[in-house]
Structure 1
């Protein structure tokens, strides 16, 4: 009679996580690693950059890497929102929790990218590694990604994870909202009132791309509708046209940033996709009745 070997739950989790990361890195070539709930490495280093290999070879930097992996994972798990963040070395990462049978086993941390997108917050104080010539050489070889590409990668990893751990996570388990300086926002109330899936997808796309040059054509291409049909459906569902909604979303985001940061109005304007600050100020006053400067003075914490 053949002998049967039964794996422990921890070994089964590690085996499934290994399969997830192999598929993910083969498909995307983006680095990832599995860490436990203390941030300690529990897997091989998949597609690690030379820069991150170097940083983790130095005990002082390695401990900060562990802290970033842990904090990033816990933030995602706590807020149920997958948002990219900058680690102590300035690279962009994101984290997907691994939950099996109602037990949190750790996090798959992916990234090791460069992005200058201002929506990505710093997780910890930056480490002064730039004086090390070897580190600087490796850093210059780190791949650059756009914000949209980073968010797409995080969705791919979350979907793969959901396939192996279906009862703990689904592809909709983590929200993907544009990060704000003032904290996470919730769009659940608004989305719950939208009956058409095409318009729901349109709204989510707009909220995730507020800094981009949003147009009827680009959005229609994204949701696979003609421009005229999308315009008609959107007006019926939302009681306003597409551009009015885009401006409304940008103004709401502007209100949060003005009230919770010292970022200049010029920088906020660019961050929200406006090429001219004067036009942002005009739209802001049109929707709020106040200029951005007056709003900040009145509501800033």
Structure 2
């Protein structure tokens, strides 16, 4: 079944994929692997680092219940989907082998000095490059395929994404019912489902088919705040949840919620809550 999932996924996306066990060891063929990754895994020292990255990435996703793309020791972007069958974790479907310069994607392990190898450098230059939004879309596709056959044991344990939504809370559902204009209801839904994206008035206006000036005016009338204030408010609310329920670093949370600079994320968080992310986490732990 895992092989069938991987074949469908790689045929549809052409993105590299493999299944590894709970030790990070390969348990399937290498589907659509890049020449660079074939080369890296042919060298024992690098191969062991690849196994570590596959394992750590999978465990991080399983522990946080969130699909978080990460950079491997060689600098490529991967993501992992846990395979759970009969309440037991059997391994991870790992996909990626992409190049991305997006700062929201964290390093999982210390980089290895492969750049000194001319052959490796030549192969690396041929690795496909993807935008952050494309990487997130691919992770959602793979997760959907996987959970169709291997659903988690409890509905509340469904795997989330690095593009978090806030719509699951009763208060948020109530918020939507109090919005009178359908255009603003659609705007709010779009914002909450794309918090990690580079949200701007232009991109949101295009999504809801309104002129920027008109959307800005309508939104302020309906929500009593401007669009950016609302985006920051949603991101801070989501950050509070993550800080209270995980050990994810403040830097990673900031990137996960669309802030390229940690200092700016901390500034916005304190502006809305009156305390720093570190202070908020410490208060929650107490």
**1:162/1:169 contact within 8 Å kept:** no
Q: C-alpha displacement at 1:146, in angstroms? A: 0.8
Deviation at 1:219?
A: 2.0
Counterpart of 1:74 in structure 2 is 59
Q: 8 Å contact 2:68–2:79 — kept in the other structure?
A: yes
Q: Please point out which of 66, 69, 86 is paired with 2:71.
A: 86
| Structure 2 segments unaligned to the other structure (5+ residues) | 178-184, 244-248
Which of residues 31, 53, 69 in structure 1 aligns to 2:38?
53
Q: Does 1:116 align with 2:104?
A: no
- Matched positions, count: 257
Structure 1 position 254, deviation (Å): 10
- 1:225-256 alpha-carbon deviations (Å, 9 max, x no partner): 646689757964x5534232124457789999
Higher Cα radius of gyration: 1
Cross-structure match for 1:138: 123
User: Is 2:24 the partner of 1:44?
Assistant: no
Between 112-121 and 187-196, the greater mean CA deviation after superposition: 187-196
Residue 7 of structure 1 corresponds to which residue in structure 2?
none
Query: In the aligned structure 1, how far is the partner of 2:217 from the partner of 2:13?
Result: 34
Q: Which moved more, 1:116-125 or 1:167-176?
A: 167-176
Contact kept in structure 2, 1:37 and 1:107, CA below 8 Å: yes
| In structure 2, C-alpha distance between the alignment counterparts of 1:81 and 1:176, rounded to whole Å | 5
1:207 match: secondary structure:
coil
Q: Alpha carbons of 1:289 and 1:123: their partners in 2 closer, same or farther (altered >3 Å)?
A: closer
User: Does the aligned pair in 2 maintain the 1:30–1:110 contact within 8 Å?
Assistant: yes
TM (norm. structure 1) is 0.70
1:272 to 259, 265, 283: 259
SS at the partner of 1:99? strand
- Alignment partners' CA distance in 1, 2:29 and 2:269: 53
Pick closer, same or farther for the CA change 1:169–1:110 going to 2, 3 Å. farther
Residue of structure 1 equivalent to 2:246: none
Inter-partner Cα distance in structure 1 for 2:39 and 2:155? 35
Aligned to 2:225: 240
Q: TM-score, normalised by structure 2?
A: 0.73
Structure 1 stretches of 5 or more lacking a match? 1-15, 180-184, 262-267
